[in-house]
Amino acid sequence: MSRLYDTIEPSVIDEQMLKNAVEEQGPKGEAGRIAKQEGIDFGDVLSLRLDFKNILKIDNLWSLVNLTKLQMDNNIIERIEGLDLLVNLEWLDLSFNNIEIIEGLDKLTKMKDLTLYNNRISKIENMESLTQLHVFSIGNNSLKQLDNVIYLRKFKSLRTLNLSGNPFSEEANYKEYVIAHLPDLVYLDFRLIDESAREAATEKYRYSIEELVHDETVAKRKQDEMDEKQKERQLHKIAFVEDLNGPWLFDSMYAEDPEASKLGALPGMEEILDAYKEKFTTICQEIFEFGLKEHEKREAEVASFFSCLEEATQENNNTGVKHIHSYIEYKKKVFLDYTSLTDSSHMATLMKEIVEEIRKLWDTLMGLEMELVDQLEDTIKDFERNMADLVTAFVEHVQGLYPLLKTCMLRDLENAHHEKVSDIAVVTLEKLMKNELEEDLPDDLRMLFVDKDTIMNAVSASHDTHLLKIDNKEDDMLTRATTRMQTLNEKIHNDEVLRNRKRVSEINNLVDHFRDEAESYEVTGPM
């Protein structure tokens, strides 16, 4: 798709280009001059046009975090990229570019209107995250297979679609196929879909659509099951007890034990292993259930803490707002009185009163903020103590510092099992040496019975592998529990510091504004 400006050197999206674009599209006249003088905060920009700029690559848009509308049509863009931080984007126009693949849209979950008209795209794909998509234009591309339309069935909010100008739009059954397979569509190729045409198309493809719906239902059920399992596993992970509600830990001990299969063939081992596995799994289940209960307690504590935090902050802010409104009402009255004065000394006295009231307002607001800081500091300390107690209870339970079923009992079970295996190994060795062994041993096991040291070393190595697996699981659980608490506490403290700094800055800016307003009124006098 050649353009007249393809021979021009490609442009790079840099800060200057963004500033120019914002200024061009921003307020005009005096408002524009003031905005330019105060500088541009890209975080405040909601809409931006970068069309006809000969842009080759989407880049350096990270500062436009609140952007909701982005127009980049009529450039020479080859890839959809650099948009991950524009999570508030709802409207995106990339028409008349050189894009070949739909990609780079994963983070744009708020997208409602997407235009990829007049590019080189041959497949509709990689749009799963655009669950709110309402309008989609992908006409004049290279779509050849009508089954591309099937992909769009997942977008339940899609009402307007443009596919015209693609190779498949020349097929005789094109419109019927699209209308039948996208039953919620209202507009196709800029035209309202007639209900009679919809009924005819639906009837024509009725059997194939019934089969498609069945397949989609089965696929959705499987996906829902997978999502539910994933959600459940995520819960187990944040409770630090994943894989403990079953024989996973036991099975993994033996999977990583090179001697396990050999020693498992010892006489009488099958029954002993079954009993060991049952007891081991029961203890794991006890730890698992305790972990989930403790997680619920910690989550309740966290929710209660943030609720108290929000309540205290909101109450403090409301009190501050009342003082601000009181000053504003006072200011209106005083400025009204000021307009009727002619005596300069009276005017000066009144202005001093205003300045004093502004100082009092600053003192009051800063005092409220200091009270809130002290209040939140106490609340945070209480939260940290409560969380520390909860985590300690979890740790002590897992480590077995008071008499319940925990990892110390897993070690006890393993030690008892090790003694049984050792005894069986010794008895088996004695029988072999006396030629009294009735069972035939596998060759790899028989190789261990060359002497007592060899077989006992194998038994000890197996035991060490099992204990290491138990120790590693316990260390992982306890480390993550402690780290989670520390990370949460650090975040709470950092967030409070940022909140305080922001609030102090807001107070200072507000009071400075009131001071500037008073000074300006004093200089210019009543209008």
Q: What are the counts of helices (DSSP H) followed by strands (DSSP E) for the chain?
A: 13, 8
- Express each pLDDT in 317-338 by its tens digit: 999 999 999 988 888 887 776 6
- Express each pLDDT in 477-493 by its tens digit: 889 999 999 999 999 99
- Report DSSP state, residue 79: S
Domain boundaries, the chain: 250-428+469-524
**Is the Cβ–Cβ distance between 421 and 457 less than 8 Å?**
no
- Express each pLDDT in 130-161 by its tens digit: 999 999 999 999 999 999 999 999 999 999 99
- Express each pLDDT in 266-320 by its tens digit: 999 999 999 999 999 999 998 899 999 999 999 999 999 999 999 999 999 999 9
- Express each pLDDT in 18-30 by its tens digit: 888 888 876 544 4
**Is the Cβ–Cβ distance between 318 and 345 less than 8 Å?**
no
Burial class (CB in 10 A: 0-12, 13-18, 19+), 283: buried
The residue written with tokens 């009543």 in the block is 526
Predicted local confidence at residue 338, as pLDDT: 64
* 32 pLDDT tier (thresholds 50, 70, 90): very low
The residue written with tokens 């800055």 in the block is 505
Closest CA to 380 of 246, 492, 511, 508: 492
**Is the Cβ–Cβ distance between 267 and 428 less than 8 Å?**
yes
In the predicted model, is pLDDT for residue 341 greater than 70? Answer: no
User: What's the chain's average pLDDT?
Assistant: 89
Closest CA to 404 of 252, 307, 288, 274: 288
- Express each pLDDT in 239-266 by its tens digit: 999 999 999 999 999 999 999 999 999 9
